[in-house]
C-alpha cells in the first residue's frame, strides 16, 4: 500500500470539501473493494476520506411508496430490515445473497452502486426497480446512472448519499452465483413498477442492462411462459473461465423465468 492522508469527516459537506481539495481523493465506505485495490497498489490516492463517521449517510427510511437507503448502510442491515422485507422483499433477499457474512457486514449500498462491478447485485435492483441515486449534488435516474464497466455518471468529487427505491407492485431477483466469490455469474431482477415491467440483468455483460423484449412480453402476460422463445445473442456477453457467453445467454432466460415465477 502506498502512503496517503486519512480523513474521517463528520458530515457530507466536510467530506465533499476534503474530496474537492484533494489531489487524488478516494472515498472509503465498507472498504471491501477499495482496500484490496490499495493493497494491490492498483490505486494510489493522495487522500482517503472515510465516510463511516457520517451519521446522516446511514439508515433506512420508508416513506409512503418509497424506501430510501443511506449510502453507508450495510448489506446485512438491508437484508435484515423488517421495513425493507415488508415493502420490497426482493430487495432484502438480494442483499442477503451478496458475498458472505463478512462482506455483508462491511460492504455498503453506496459503495456497491458507485463501484458498478459488472457482476454486482445492487445495480440490477437499482435498474429494475427504477430507483434514483441521490448525491450531494443531484438526483440521478437509474437509467442514466450506470454507464459501463466499473463506470457511472458520478463526477470525481461527487458523493452518493442515498438510493431511493419506489415500492413495486411485485418483484423478484434470481441469481446464479459464481461459487467462490458469490458474485453473480448472471442475476436477473424482474419488477412491475408504476412505469411498467422492468427486467435488469447483471453479471452477463460489461454493465448491468435491461432486456426490452422480455419487458414487452411480460407487460402483456406476466408469466414465465411469456418468456419462452426469447433469447439474447451471446455476441456482447461476458465469456471467462467461469462461463462462456453462450452459457450466460442461456442463464439469462433461466434466471428471468425463475424471477417471474417468484414474483408471482
Ligand atoms: C469476497 C467478496 C465477495 C463479494 N461478493 C459480492 C456479491 O456476491 N455481490 C455483490 O454485489 N458484491 C459483492 N462484493 C462487493 C461488496 O459487496 C461491496 O458492495 C463492494 O465492495 C463495494 O462496497 P464498499 O462499501 O465495500 O465500498 P468501498 O470498497 O469502500 O468503495 C468502493 C468504491 O466506491 C467508492 N465509494 C464508496 N462509497 C461511495 C459513496 N458514498 N459515493 C461515491 N463513491 C463511493 C469508493 O471510493 C471506491 O471507489 C464482494 C466483495 C468481496 C470482497
Report the chain's mean pLDDT, rounded to a whole number: 97
At 239 the pLDDT is 96
The CA 33 to ligand 1 mean position distance, Å, reads 5
Dihedral, CA of residue 127, residue 174, residue 107 and residue 154, to nearest 10: -20
End-to-end Cα distance, the chain:
49
- Ligand 1 pocket test, candidate residues 4, 53, 78, 114, most atoms within 8 A of CB: 114
pTM value > 0.85: yes
**pLDDT tens figures, 145-191:** 999 999 999 999 999 999 999 999 999 999 999 999 999 999 999 99
Decide: 189 and 200 in contact? Cβ < 8 Å: yes
- Ligand 1 pocket test, candidate residues 111, 180, 203, most atoms within 8 A of CB: 111
Report the C-alpha gap between 191 and 196 in whole angstroms.
8
Report the C-alpha gap between 46 and 33 in whole angstroms.
17
Give 29's pLDDT tier (boundaries 50, 70, 90).
Answer: very high
- Ligand 1 pocket test, candidate residues 52, 112, 173, most atoms within 8 A of CB: 112
Give burial (CB, 10 Å; 0-12/13-18/19+) of 55: exposed
The CA 38 to ligand 1 mean position distance, Å, reads 13
For the chain, give percent helix, strand, coil, nearest 5.
40, 25, 35
The CA 32 to ligand 1 mean position distance, Å, reads 5
Report the C-alpha gap between 159 and 212 in whole angstroms.
31
pLDDT greater than 80 at residue 1: no
The CA 249 to ligand 1 mean position distance, Å, reads 26
Which residues form the pocket of ligand 1, taking CB atoms under 6 Å from any ligand atom? 26-34, 51, 71, 75, 98-99, 103, 106-108, 110-112, 114-115, 120-122, 154, 159-160, 181-183
**pLDDT tens figures, 55-104:** 999 999 999 899 999 999 999 999 999 999 999 999 999 999 999 999 99
Amino acid at each position: 500500500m502506498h502512503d496517503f492522508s486519512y480523513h474521517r469527516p463528520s458530515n457530507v459537506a466536510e467530506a465533499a470539501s476534503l474530496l474537492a481539495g484533494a489531489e487524488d481523493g478516494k472515498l472509503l465506505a465498507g472498504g471491501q473493494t477499495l482496500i484490496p485495490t490499495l493493497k494491490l497498489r492498483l490505486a494510489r490516492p493522495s487522500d482517503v476520506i472515510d465516510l463511516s463517521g457520517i451519521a446522516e449517510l446511514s439508515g433506512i427510511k420508508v416513506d409512503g411508496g418509497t424506501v430510501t437507503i443511506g449510502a453507508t448502510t450495510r448489506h446485512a442491515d438491508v437484508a435484515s430490515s423488517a421495513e425493507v422485507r415488508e415493502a420490497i422483499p426482493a430487495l432484502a433477499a438480494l442483499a442477503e445473497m451478496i458475498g458472505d457474512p463478512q462482506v455483508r457486514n462491511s460492504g455498503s449500498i453506496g459503495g456497491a452502486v458507485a463501484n458498478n462491478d459488472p457482476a454486482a447485485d445492487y445495480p440490477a435492483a437499482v435498474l429494475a426497480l427504477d430507483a434514483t441515486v441521490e448525491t450531494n449534488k443531484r438526483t440521478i435516474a437509474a437509467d442514466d446512472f450506470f454507464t459501463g464497466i466499473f463506470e457511472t455518471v458520478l463526477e470525481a468529487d461527487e458523493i452518493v448519499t442515498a438510493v431511493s427505491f419506489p415500492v413495486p407492485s411485485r418483484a423478484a431477483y434470481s441469481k446464479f452465483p459464481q461459487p467462490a466469490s458469490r458474485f453473480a455469474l448472471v442475476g436477473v431482477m424482474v419488477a412491475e413498477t408504476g412505469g411498467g415491467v422492468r427486467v435488469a440483468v447483471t453479471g452477463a455483460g460489461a454493465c448491468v442492462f435491461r432486456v426490452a423484449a422480455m419487458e414487452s412480453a411480460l407487460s402483456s402476460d406476466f408469466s414465465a411462459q411469456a418468456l419462452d422463445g426469447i433469447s439474447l445473442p451471446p455476441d456482447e456477453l461476458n465469456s471467462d473461465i467461469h462461463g462462456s457467453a453462450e452459457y450466460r445467454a442461456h442463464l439469462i432466460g433461466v434466471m428471468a423465468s425463475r424471477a417471474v415465477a417468484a414474483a408471482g
